[in-house]
Amino acid sequence: MSVTLKDVAQAARVSVSTASRALTGTGLTSERTQQRLVRIARELGYRPNPIARGLKTGQSRLVALLVHNLTNASFQVMAEVVQARLKALGYQMLLCIGGDDPQAESDTLTTLVDHRIDGLIVVPTGKNGAQLETLSKNVPIVCLVRRDDATDLETVLADDPQGAYLGTRHLIELGHKRIGLIVGRQDTTSGRERLSGYARALREAGIARDDTLIHAGHYVPETGATCARKLLDLPRPPSAIFVANHEATLGVLRVTAERNIAIPDDLSLLCYEDMPWFEWHRPAISIVDNGARDLANLAVDRLLHRMDAKGNSKGNGSDGAREYRVGARLIQRDSCRQIDASAPAKSGKSKPSSSKSSAAKSVKV
Amino acid sequence: MSVTLKDVAQAARVSVSTASRALTGTGLTSERTQQRLVRIARELGYRPNPIARGLKTGQSRLVALLVHNLTNASFQVMAEVVQARLKALGYQMLLCIGGDDPQAESDTLTTLVDHRIDGLIVVPTGKNGAQLETLSKNVPIVCLVRRDDATDLETVLADDPQGAYLGTRHLIELGHKRIGLIVGRQDTTSGRERLSGYARALREAGIARDDTLIHAGHYVPETGATCARKLLDLPRPPSAIFVANHEATLGVLRVTAERNIAIPDDLSLLCYEDMPWFEWHRPAISIVDNGARDLANLAVDRLLHRMDAKGNSKGNGSDGAREYRVGARLIQRDSCRQIDASAPAKSGKSKPSSSKSSAAKSVKV
DNA sequence: CGATAGACTGCAAACGATTGCAGAAACGCT
DNA sequence: AGCGTTTCTGCAATCGTTTGCAGTCTATCG
């Protein structure tokens, strides 16, 4: 069907071995034949067959990204970033969607390894630690966003404690004393870490922690709505709500709309993770950006590093840090307002629309 | 490294050929050895190497999906659907993101074919018709969402004329006479088709078309905002706006918020394509659903059909329809309201939240 | 009992590349 | 001229499968 190395070799009246060496550019052929073969190959439209090559070399030029879904905005940008970076390096991305289901994850993993992927970036469910650990002996693996505690795989994480701290402190600085928190389940790392950041900020400010202001649940709109109602029905409702997830934000917004609660005048709202429409919403929603783009880039960096390491001197692999954290940053928009007798700012709209305060980035731990 | 067919054969004291035949289940081995080999293979944890197999058979069990981006909600669900369907059939999905850039598309296509993909679903830019046409001789291709007019490839399209018609008619039935339209560029099929559906509905209702109510532009929020301003600044502004794209909707919503225009009381809003948050927005936004999920499913069906056809009796390929359209449907939520002296409904909220009126599905043309 | 068909099985050649090894050519040196 | 290097080239094996062909074995029938 298509042009093979043999065809090129024949046309140039050399052996396939010579052709191979000339085209792959090992310096083992004379300058002249080298160039001649390159020319002929181009003329014939020769394209090396990655499958055949892969069989011999054990590599596939395929790198897999395994995420939970694509509705999550963070995963979208991660997928886009990973794909773009890899393509530039001549790799193709296999995108797999595991739905946060351990069984699906496990199946997918074995299939991927069958396909001899050269590397894997995975958002682990946390239930297949043993399997991941085993696979990592054959294939470079980097975990993203979540850590699988059963492994000591290299992991790239958002700095959730820092992000939550930053957000909470911002609200405190605006004069808020009663800050509601809607956070993820406490059996997930991110849920715990975000809560701890919130708690730290309160502590530092000398504000007593009030557990009636803290609600944990799944990252879905319904949770947001339920928790928002509970918070607003409190005898002394909060003056600000920090929603530690963008899905839940939907629910909160619905409730405030239903009850005609004006943001930011009646209630300040701060959200974790960005969404494209947050900027366009009126009022534009202030957020703590978890740095999805940076996370993805760092994950790719680390993966490439391991892939090199494996190629050059197989076996060492481990070289220092196993955990990387990417700093979160606050992006102020219009959904939080100052409440203080001494500075009675009425509207948030006068603030600069997108000033950024950045935390330390890529901190080794 | 891993267990090969040879290992299995050795363990079973048969030749590799027999092992191969037994495990691939060609009925050419005795029942007994067949079962014995299956057992031994399982015990040894044998997994066939798709690369080696691919080299011999010319197949890769890889199917590619080439879309423009992942921020578009339609592409997200398509990617998820395609991935899920393929996985169930033992294929892996290569997801490529072309950014609607002809050069990137072209590069990606050649790489994909190098990798001997077994099939391709592509949202074409429209500039690489010749290349697609050539490739389609080697690998089954189905176009999605857009048609590449330079080819006669099988194509799965949304029924945009129908969708736009349905939406416009709905607004007319609610009593609207001046209906603003914010639509895509007129050099794209979808832009033209949506406009034509709008026009047809007006014509049928005997409403004169007013070109000051029609604005075309890129599918981005800025366009929505600009066009919305122009529409609202009109001496006789429209009582309803039909936004033919979800990105542009963001811009429209911002403008209405800025100007304190209440939806649906002051202005009805209908949008093309769904977004997860439309349901949660207050008021929940009524839409014309373009059926992304159905489109993706149909595309997969068609692709599989062609892949079979190629496997069984190569060469025929063409069998009837080359264009499939998936019906759009109206999903009524709360952003459109009746305006009529005889039926002075004040609020849309009393309506059933999600009644559906479905158009013909999957119509051959 | 011998021939013959039928059912299994194994040998070996592919698929398209890469790569160790050894032979050939070219060159410089004494 | 002879010899050792260096540089280039080709042969052939290899990666892990599939598959055409030919061979072996058993069973069946005349």
In angstroms, the CA A173 to CA A168 distance is: 9
Task: Tell me the CA–C1' distance in angstroms for A292 and D8.
Answer: 52
pTM: 0.86
For every residue of B149-175, which 3-state class applies, written as one string? CCCCCCEEEECHHHHHHHHHHHHHHCC
pLDDT value of position A320: 59
CB neighbour burial string for B269-296, b if at least 16 within 10 angstroms, e if fewer: bbbbbbbebbbbbbbbbbbbbbbbbbbb
Among residues B300, B305, B328, B275, which one has the least CA distance to residue B156? B300
Query: B114 to chain A: which residues are within 8 Å by CB?
Result: 47-50
Cβ atoms within 10 Å, residue B307? 19
Q: How does residue A32 score in pLDDT terms, banded at 50, 70 and 90?
A: confident
State how beta strands B323-326 and B286-289 pair: unpaired
**8 Å CB contact between A51 and B57:** no
| Residue with more model confidence, B158 or A188 | B158
Which one of B42, B51, B101 would you mutate to disrupt binding with A, by most A Cβ within 10 Å of its Cβ? Answer: B51
> So what's the pLDDT on residue B319?
57
Specify the pLDDT at position A353: 40
Q: Where are the beta strands (DSSP E) in chain B?
A: 62-67, 92-97, 119-122, 141-144, 155-158, 179-184, 214-217, 240-243, 268-272, 286-289, 323-326, 329-331, 356-358, 363-364
B97 to A108: CB separation less than 8 angstroms, yes or no: no
Q: Which nucleotide is nearest to A30 (CA to C1')?
A: D8
Determine the Cα–Cα distance for residues B93 and B148; give it in Å rounded to an integer.
23
Task: Give A-chain residues touching B255 at CB under 8 angstroms.
Answer: none
Q: What is the pLDDT of residues A269-298, one digit of tens each?
A: 999 999 888 988 889 999 999 999 999 999
Examine the pLDDT at A23 and tell me if it is beyond 50.
yes
Asked whether residue A18, judged by its CB, lies under 7 Å from any atom of the DNA or RNA strand C, the reply is no
B30 touches strand C (CB under 7 A): yes
Answer whether residue A149 shows pLDDT above 90: no
Q: How far is CA B289 from the centre of its chain?
A: 11
**Cβ of residue A31 lies below 7 Å from strand D:** yes
pLDDT by residue (tens digit) across B108-150?
999 999 999 999 999 999 899 999 999 999 899 999 998 888 9
**Nearest nucleotide by C1' position to the A15 CA atom:** D10
Half-sphere exposure of B148 (CA within 13 A, CB side): 26
With beta carbons less than 8 A apart as the criterion, state whether B45 and B3 touch: yes
Identify all chain A residues contacting B280, using CB atoms and an 8 Å cutoff.
221, 250-251, 253-254
Chain C nucleotides with an atom closer than 7 Å to a protein C-beta: 7-12, 14-20
Q: Is the CB of B188 under 7 A from strand C?
A: no
Q: What is the pLDDT of residue A253?
A: 93
DSSP A256: H
A10 CA vs C29 C1’ separation (Å): 38
Residue with tokens 């950041």: A197
B23 beta carbon < 7 A from strand D? yes
pLDDT of B1: 65
- Site of tokens 């529409």: B231
Distance A312 CA to C16 C1' (A): 25
User: Nearest CA to CA, how far is B246 from chain A (Å)?
Assistant: 11
pLDDT of residue B363: 33
Whether the beta carbon of A5 falls within 7 A of nucleic chain D: the reply is no
Sites in chain B below the pLDDT cut of 70: 1, 311-320, 341-365
Determine whether the interchain pair B49/A257 forms a contact, defined as Cβ–Cβ distance below 8 Å: no
Q: What is the predicted pLDDT for the residue at B318?
A: 54
pLDDT recorded at residue B160: 94
Mean pLDDT of A349-364: 39
Nearest-CA distance B64 → chain A (Å): 9
Measured in angstroms, what separates residue B17's CA from nucleotide D23's C1'?
15
Q: Which residues of A touch B52 (CB under 8 A)?
A: 55
- Name the nt closest to B53 by C-alpha to C1': D17
Whole-angstrom Cα distance, residue B228 to residue B181?
A: 9
Centre a 10 Å sphere on the Cβ of residue A107 and count the other Cβ atoms it contains.
14
